[in-house]
């Protein structure tokens, strides 16, 4: 019999970021807070915050045609939804040839 007290398996409770958390990341970045501060504030890993910032960062063009990057929570959410739509098994009948 396995003793559950000394079990080395842990329950994973991974959660996806929601749009509210993306908005919090945006607001805290605008305040100049660090990735580690944002992660601690949201109770997430700094890696999660870093990946989300990378996911939602876009290249912007100024009026003098110089470029800069900026994070947008809407972009992060759109990229997330696009990636989620590509998950799972594809419908085989849609790609099957007529015989």
4-41 confidence digits (pLDDT tens): 566 556 555 678 999 999 999 999 999 999 999 999 99
Give per-residue pLDDT as tens, 57-84: 999 999 999 999 999 999 999 999 999 9
Rounded to 5 degrees, what are φ and ψ at 58?
A: -125, 160
CATH topology of domain 19-85: Arc Repressor Mutant, subunit A (1.10.10)
Cα gap 51→82, rounded to integer Å: 16
């Amino acid at each position: 019999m396995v003793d559950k007290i000394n079990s080395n398996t842990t329950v994973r409770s991974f959660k996806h970021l929601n749009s509210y958390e993306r908005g919090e990341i945006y607001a805290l970045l605008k305040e100049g807070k660090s990735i580690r501060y944002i992660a601690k504030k949201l109770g997430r890993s700094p890696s999660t915050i870093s990946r989300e910032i990378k996911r939602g960062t876009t290249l912007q063009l100024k009026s003098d045609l110089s470029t800069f990057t900026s994070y947008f929570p809407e972009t992060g959410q759109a990229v997330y939804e696009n990636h989620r739509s590509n998950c799972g098994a594809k419908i085989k009948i849609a790609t099957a040839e007529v015989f």
